[in-house]
Amino acid sequence: MEWVETTGKTVEEAKEAALDRLGVDEQDAEFEVIEEPRSGLFGRTRGVGRVRARVLPRAPRPKPERRRRAKGARPDAADGGDRPAAAGDRKRSSSNASKSGGDKRPAASRRAEEPKKEREVMEATAQCEVVTTFLDGVIAAMGLEATVRAEMDDDVLRAVLDGSEVGLLIGPKLGTLDALQEITRNVLQRHADGQEYAKVVLDVAGVREMRRTALASFVDDAAKRVLDEGVEVVFEVMSSADRKVVHDTVADIDGVASGSVGEDPRRRVVIRPS
């Protein structure tokens, strides 16, 4: 399957455009991020999100075994008249079936139900080495003093950077860290070369865990207000990772529920009485 290249205001919009062109669901496609929007002055973004995508390759279906018929044998005499349909009959039968209410689901839906071919899994040590080597190069290029530690935790590759000046890699609302994490994932994908690879989570001096703890505490306070006053609380625009923290925290609190409003990149979480 050939690759297609699409653009959008964000990487997610570019991916959606690629899925529309390919006519498949996200789980049936493979992506490569080529370019990401860059932060400019006053919070504005410059550039576009650009991705390459293709339908995940599948193994060809085995050809049905065809039984050869002896010369001179009559099909109806050999099998009691229950002979396979000829090519013309098959075409007419297929045409009639489509007219009489055959499977009219979109091709993407039918492909999603087909069993996927299992891919070989990239060695965990090789994945950690790829990520460590790349991040060491980033640190050296920026002239920073830092160390990189990468390890596999179930199906997640967690990489942690520690050092005196690593705060430069965090950015407002973890924006720089999230961008570097996505680039690292893309590098790992290229080295995997069609093999299965782990989800990449990049952290700097434990800032993600600290942010998660602080956000969970903030959500607890907001939930108490919802319970006491019976009002809705709408949060500011958040990343998908932060929204997940909110949803997970609310799920453990009785009497309140959470939902999302708006569309990316302006999506917000709402907490309301349940």
Average pLDDT over residues 245-261: 92
Give the chain's mean pLDDT: 80
pLDDT at 199 over 60: yes
Tell me: pLDDT of 15 over 50. yes
pLDDT tens-place string over residues 204-214 = 989 988 988 99
- pLDDT bracket for residue 115 (50, 70, 90): low
pTM of this prediction exceeds 0.75: no
Tens digits of per-residue pLDDT, 47-102? Answer: 788 888 888 776 555 555 556 555 555 555 444 444 555 545 554 544 454 444 55
Instruction: Give the pLDDT confidence of 137-164 residue by residue, as tens digits.
Output: 999 999 998 999 999 988 899 999 999 8
* 119-123 contacts, C-beta under 8 A, 24 or more apart: 119/194, 119/195, 119/196, 120/194, 120/195, 120/196, 121/195, 121/196, 121/197, 122/191, 122/192, 122/195, 122/196, 122/197
pLDDT for res 235: 92
CA distance 4 to 16: 12
What is the reported pLDDT for 19?
A: 85
* Domains located in the chain, CATH noted: 1-55 (no CATH), 119-205 (3.30.300.20), 208-273 (3.30.1370.50)
Report pLDDT for 49.
85
Q: What is the pLDDT of residue 97?
A: 46
Check: CB of residue 37 under 8 Å from CB of residue 9. yes
pLDDT of the residue at 105: 59
Rounded Cα distance, 77 and 66, in Å: 18
